[in-house]
Amino acid sequence: MFDALSLSALPPEDEALRPALRTLIAGAIADLPLHRRARSWQGFDAAFSRKLGQAGYLGLSLPKEYGGIGRGPFTRFVVVEELLSAGAPVAGHWIADRQSGPLILHYGTEEQRRFYLPRISRGEALFCIGMSEPGSGSDLASVRSRADLQKDGSWLLNGQKIWTTNAMHSDYMIALVRTSGTNEDRQSGLSQVIVDLTLPGITIRPIVDLTGDAHFAEVFFDDVRLTPDALIGEEGQGWRQVTAELAFERSGPERIYSSVVLIDAWVRHLDAAGRKDSATLRLVGTLTAQLAVLREMSLAVTARLVEGESPVVEASLMKDIGTGFEQAVPQLIGDDLASNPDEPVDAELYRTLLYVTHIAPSFSLRGGTREILRGIIARGLGLR
């Protein structure tokens, strides 16, 4: 499988984006305490998302004719890397920019492209993803929410989604639903529809997680009437489309930087404490080396996207290894601090460590569980 990944480098024109972007980000995070910056994925700030759009940092891979910037996945890699490394609040535009925009570009109608893509590029259309359901989890082929075609061409949607990130803050959901056949048909008969979350019949309930935050939600559909143009792509081809969409979600630098604010804070603590023993240096070196290798893997998968490919298996491998690294970080740093009990530790570092420790189990859940990913990898290797 690794034969499909080649060492790649970011183009100089993309690297050149970093100084101006860092200045913009610095203004956004100046008043954020460390434990809030560690919430980068969950940090919702619609005003900051619009500011990014106005500055030309959203819609990077979308064509200019649809309001995008006309660059590509490498450009977005740089922007995402800078945002997450600094702990900027990205939740507002995150899903629309990463997945919904490219999905609509590839599978949407011309009318859908012209309506949604400029708004996404300006940070004015916020999207969530409706995939998981009660009893289904990551087994998306078993979704029960159903949109039935009506005589007038509209769709009548009923069902429930759960673990939907930021549904309560979003304008639209792209939902995977059954439009034909029965649940026993599995991947057949599934489609993707765009749901305006202001429509009658929709109830959104936030879910408070272990950290006390509420960025997940459950969403109920009760006879929700969707217009005929809600369908994305072909009816019954939702499984193929959603599989390709997940390659955007699973391969990027977001799968390796969830704990990086904590790493940076811990290294600053080590500097302040003057601790340079061999065990400490070995741990710092190990985390740095692992992060560097994962970054190269993510770049290699991004290069496949640049070539117009859909590296589903490689992206799954990237996410599985990357989230394993992210989850190991808080335990390793916690053990290190506990092993030096006489060393003064700033309270804000403790708060950040506690937050990342609490949220880390979710790293391997979002975007497909570890078990689902390993099934995809096994099939890619011809083992099942």
Catalytic residue ranges: 249
Q: What is the dihedral of CA 357, 359, 364, 365, to 10 degrees?
A: 150
Whole-Å CA distances, 44 to 36, 49, 131, 132, 231 = 11, 9, 21, 21, 28
Distance of alpha carbon 309 from alpha carbon 180, whole angstroms: 29
Q: How far is CA 265 from the centre of its chain?
A: 23
The H or E element that residue 174 is part of is strand 172-178
Where do runs of H (alpha helix) occur along 4-109?
Answer: 12-15, 18-29, 34-37, 46-54, 73-86, 94-95, 101-107
| Structure token digits, residue 253 | 């630098």
Q: What are the structure tokens assigned to 306, written together?
A: 């640049």
Tokens of 67: 């309001």
Secondary structure of residue 219 in the 3-state scheme: strand
Query: Would you call 129 exposed, middle or buried from its count of C-beta atoms within 10 A (0-12, 13-18, 19+)?
Result: buried
Question: How far is residue 242's CA from residue 286's CA, in Å, rounded to a whole number?
Answer: 36
What one-character DSSP code corresponds to residue 150?
Answer: P
d(CA 369, CA 362): 9
Q: CA 377 → CA 8, 82, 176, 314, 365, distances in Å?
A: 22, 29, 23, 8, 16
CB 144 within 8 A of CB 118: no
Residue 360 structure tokens: 């880390």
Least Cα distance to 106 among 301, 248, 11, 227 occurs for 248
